Amino acid sequence: MARHNDWRIIMRIEDLDGPRIKPEAERDALDILSWVGLDWDSDITRQSDDLSPYTRAMEHLAACARAYPCELSRAEIAAAATAPHASDARDMHESLFPAHLRPPLEPRSFQDSATNWRFVMPDQSISFTDDFAGPQEINPARTVGDFVIWTKRAAPSYQLAVVVDDAQQGITDVIRGDDLLDSAARQIQLYKALDLPPPAHWGHLPLVIGPDGRRLAKRHGDTRIAHFRDQGVAPERIIGLMAFWCSITDTLAPMTALEFRERFNLRTMSHSRIVMRPEDHAWLAQ
């Protein structure tokens, strides 16, 4: 999509997830992207290199009475630092924090970064049109309520960090999985509260899921691209499987990254979630 539209691709390492981030994770992720034929146009930036933009955003929100300190359990803190996934929302990641649990709202100073903070979510629907998923109307106050934007780890949560980064880097188009569709509504509210322009376009695409209807995880076996590469699977087979999933082809066949780029068409891509079947595993292993 980026190459079709002459976009500039930003490579940002989102590494604020504390102890869940393994030291080799960045190198492995970049190696896999290069191996499968993807590239980018920017220098690599890392969120952990400079927390000052997030601190300034917190100072603004606290002074405007749009954020307040709140004690959390260890599990809630860990969940707040990670991008939420729809299938996890029913588990530990997203529990509703209703407005009646708020302390009195007043302008505050943001000085103790080792305290947990929540964003004051107004009870109103956010309307926007997703370039793939279509018109959306979401009220985060009814699904998650006042969500976490800063944690005891002295670092921002995923929701705040990506808003600050996208605005700072001039991001115009956000393309990601549809498990983050609800997050777009939260982030639009953060853009408004921070007086920042939101991205011009959102595009939330179907996730690949297992036969049980849940997003791919260890319960479905090892479905990491790195695993298949280490088993000797050629990148053209990985890309060929994705071409089949994206309705570029109607049969499984190897394909190069360049051919995929030339033939991909978002308008013909299915809106249904994509199921990785046992026969897909078997085809990759041939």
pLDDT tens, N- to C-terminus, the chain (286 residues): 898 888 999 999 999 876 667 778 899 999 999 999 999 999 999 999 999 999 999 999 999 999 999 976 656 655 665 667 654 443 335 678 888 889 999 999 998 778 889 999 999 999 999 999 999 999 999 999 999 999 888 999 999 999 999 999 999 999 999 999 999 999 999 999 999 999 999 999 999 999 998 888 888 888 999 999 999 999 999 999 999 999 999 999 999 999 999 999 998 898 888 999 999 999 998 7
245-252 LR contacts (CB < 8 Å, sep 24+):
245/208, 245/274, 246/270, 252/280, 252/283
Any residues with CB less than 8 A from the CB of 199 and at least 6 apart, and which?
A: 166, 171, 172, 173, 174
Length of the chain: 286
Domain ranges of the chain: 45-205, 208-284
**d(C-alpha 149, C-alpha 66), whole Å:** 11
Classify residue 51 by burial, with Cβ atoms within 10 Å: 0-12, 13-18, 19+. Answer: middle
Look at the domain 45-205 and name its fold: Rossmann fold (3.40.50)
Q: Which amino acid is at 226?
A: A
Q: Which amino acid is at 121?
A: M
Taking the C-alpha atoms of 168, 172, 173 and 179 in order, what is their torsion angle to the nearest 10 degrees? 50
Identify the pLDDT of residue 88. Answer: 46
User: Does CATH number 3.90.550 belong to domain 208-284?
Assistant: no
C-alpha to C-alpha distances, 58 to 25, 146, 193, nearest whole angstrom: 28, 15, 11
Identify the pLDDT of residue 113. Answer: 79
In terms of phi and psi (left: phi > 0; alpha: psi -120 to 50; beta: otherwise), the region of 248 is alpha
Identify the pLDDT of residue 211. Answer: 92
Identify the pLDDT of residue 80. Answer: 61
